[in-house]
Amino acid sequence: MSSSMDVDPSSSGSNPLLFLEKQEAAASPQLKPYWTKIRTAYEKKLWHNLTVALIEFVSQPGSGPFQIELFENRFITTIENKINALKLVEIARRVGREYSEPDATLKFLESVHSRLQSPYPVEATAESPAVPAPPRPAPEAYALSLSSIAYAQLLLGDLEGCKKSLTECEKLLSEQDTVEPVVNAGYYGVAGDYHKVKADYGPYYKNALLYLACVDADRELSAEDKRQRAHDLCIAALLGENIYNFGELLQHPILQTLTGTEWAWIKDLIGAFNAGAIGRFDSLANQFASEPILAESMAFLRQKICLMALIEAAFSRPRDGATRLMTFEQIAEATRLPVNEVEHLIMKALSLGLIRGSLDQVASTVDITWIQPRVLEGAQLDTLAEQFGHWTDGVGQTANGVQGLESGAIQNLIQATA
């Protein structure tokens, strides 16, 4: 039996250049130029150029069947220590998608991960001195690899393993001063998918928006993917227990992908919540049958739209000094609730931190002194501009009054000393 050291020198698996030459010779006209770039860079030992050529190759449509061979024929492993670690992980992430089974993907990604440099410092021992944490890009490469492993674990239904990988990744990223967008995107993308599986709407919403902030959606996401993400963000915003600010989502470009689709009404529903428009909510409620999860949450959504109507009514109300004093009857009219349910709604808004103020149960009034900041749009900006105008007029009147008092005081002083 041959030992592991007895390798046929003519084998392409042990001869990187022979492997590249064979791939180049057999390549289709579409892929041949990329194999030529890879071979040329390898022959000249231009490691940066080789890295760029490899990333270009694995990004090409039709390269999928050949990507796994880059690792299985040990070409990549012969140059791993010569190329940027972060770029290596980016290449491995793409190659991992080509395996037909998630368990094969996980095994492959874990194999690559095991060969990465540890990002953690080593404490001194009696036998060896302390070793500091390595510089960039080692921590970023390790974190991106962890997020890739977490995604494979999620596909396999290993939620506990996925959470463990994400936790380590998050901790590692929090310790870095600077992180490449692709690394943050890797973490936020998988974290969002994890919370989506667990139906944790608030955390999903946060991570999904952060993911979109880290990627070029037009270049990296398909039209269908963008529509699906827009849909999921809307559902999460509606069902998230602590999400009461819809302006940011309404202004996000991805939401425009729902226009003209079967989900266009969900975009309109987000607009209704942002404006606290109960009438529009009621008119769109008949669409809930196509989204059973919304139909099952009607009671929660009804309370949420009433809270948004309360916020909008308080925001739009003319200011009286520094307060927005409102009666229960006025709130009942704005929210279309019976008067005897208004107090509970106000207490809910206070407990959620949506408003601040004082409740007078005897007088059936609420004195609102603060409203949770939010992104405004359209008519809300017009209301704000009008309120600024009133404030400016008030400041002007106060200034004129003070000036008049000063003039009177000076005149009286002159008369007293004359």
Q: pLDDT (tens digit, 9 = 90+) per residue, 159-178? A: 999 999 999 999 999 999 99
pLDDT in tens, 37-64: 999 999 999 999 999 999 999 999 899 9
Instruction: Give the best-scoring range by mean pLDDT among 123-132, 264-273, 368-377, 385-394.
Output: 264-273
CA pair distance 380, 171, nearest whole angstrom: 40
Does residue 379 form part of some domain? yes
Query: How confident is the model at residue 416, as a pLDDT?
Result: 62
CB 230 within 8 A of CB 257: yes
Which residue type sits at 99?
A: Y
* pLDDT for 390 beyond 60: no
Of the candidates 233, 239, 240, 283, which has an alpha carbon nearest to the alpha carbon of residue 263?
A: 233
Give mean pLDDT, residues 119-130. 89
CA pair distance 63, 95, nearest whole angstrom: 10
Does residue 376 form part of some domain? yes
Give the Å distances, CA to CA, from 237 to 116, 202, 244, 272, 385. Answer: 38, 7, 8, 13, 27
Does residue 373 form part of some domain? yes
Domain encompassing residue 329: 316-400
CA pair distance 165, 78, nearest whole angstrom: 28
CA pair distance 252, 205, nearest whole angstrom: 13
Query: How confident is the model at residue 11, as a pLDDT?
Result: 44
CATH, residue 383: 1.10.10.10
Does residue 57 form part of some domain? no
Residues 6 or more apart whose CB falls under 8 angstroms from that of 201 comprise 195, 235, 236, 237, 239, 240, 241, 243
Query: How confident is the model at residue 74, as a pLDDT?
Result: 84
403 confidence band (pLDDT: 50, 70, 90): low
377, two tokens: 């749009």
* pLDDT for 393 beyond 90: no
Count of H-run helices and E-run strands, the chain: 21, 3
Does residue 168 form part of some domain? no
Does residue 339 form part of some domain? yes
Of the candidates 238, 234, 239, 264, which has an alpha carbon nearest to the alpha carbon of residue 249?
A: 234
* pLDDT for 340 beyond 70: yes
Query: How confident is the model at residue 320, as a pLDDT?
Result: 52
Query: How confident is the model at residue 2, as a pLDDT?
Result: 37
Does residue 66 form part of some domain? no
Does residue 325 form part of some domain? yes
Query: How confident is the model at residue 395, as a pLDDT?
Result: 53
CB 337 within 8 A of CB 306: yes
Number of domains in the chain: 1
Kindly report the pTM of this predicted structure.
Answer: 0.85
Strand partners, 327: 365
∠ CA 183-185-188, nearest 5°, is 115
- CB atoms near residue 240 (< 10 Å): 17
Q: Of the ranges 21-25, 92-96, 286-290, 370-374, which one carries the lowest mean pLDDT score?
A: 370-374
DSSP H or E segment with residue 209: helix 201-214
- The proportion of the chain whose per-residue pLDDT surpasses 70, expressed as a percent, equals 85
CA pair distance 93, 58, nearest whole angstrom: 10
Query: How confident is the model at residue 73, as a pLDDT?
Result: 84
C-alpha atoms less than 13 angstroms from C-alpha of 237 in its C-beta half-sphere: 25
- CB atoms near residue 351 (< 10 Å): 8
Residues in the chain: 418
CA pair distance 6, 14, nearest whole angstrom: 11
Sign of CA pseudo-dihedral 83, 84, 85, 90: negative
CB 269 within 8 A of CB 314: no
* pLDDT for 353 beyond 50: yes
Per DSSP, the residues of 78-104 read HHGGGS-HHHHHHHHHHHHTT-SSHHH
215, two tokens: 């990627």
